């Protein structure tokens, strides 16, 4: 496995961590057309916590 690669186990752990913070559906880049839209959505999700 290359350095920097993210394993499936790492992904599961990270999603569990987000859920423990109350984020059940994390913002993903794929859901947005531009970087600015992504960062705006991410900021909104963080501020809603």
**Could you state, in order of their start, the residue ranges of all structural domains in the chain?**
8-47
pLDDT value of residue 2 = 61
d(CA 4, CA 31): 23
* Contact by Cβ (8 Å): 4, 30: no
For residue 11 the two structure tokens come to: 């992904």
d(CA 9, CA 29): 21
Angle of CA points 21, 47, 25, to nearest 5°: 50
pLDDT tens for each residue of 1-49? 566 777 888 888 888 887 887 777 777 777 788 888 888 888 888 888 7
For residue 17 the two structure tokens come to: 């961590």
């Amino acid at each position: 496995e290359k350095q920097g690669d993210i394993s499936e186990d790492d992904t599961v752990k990270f999603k569990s961590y987000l859920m423990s913070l109350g984020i059940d559906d994390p913002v993903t880049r794929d859901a947005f057309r531009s970087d600015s839209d992504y960062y705006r959505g991410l900021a909104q999700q963080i501020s809603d916590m």
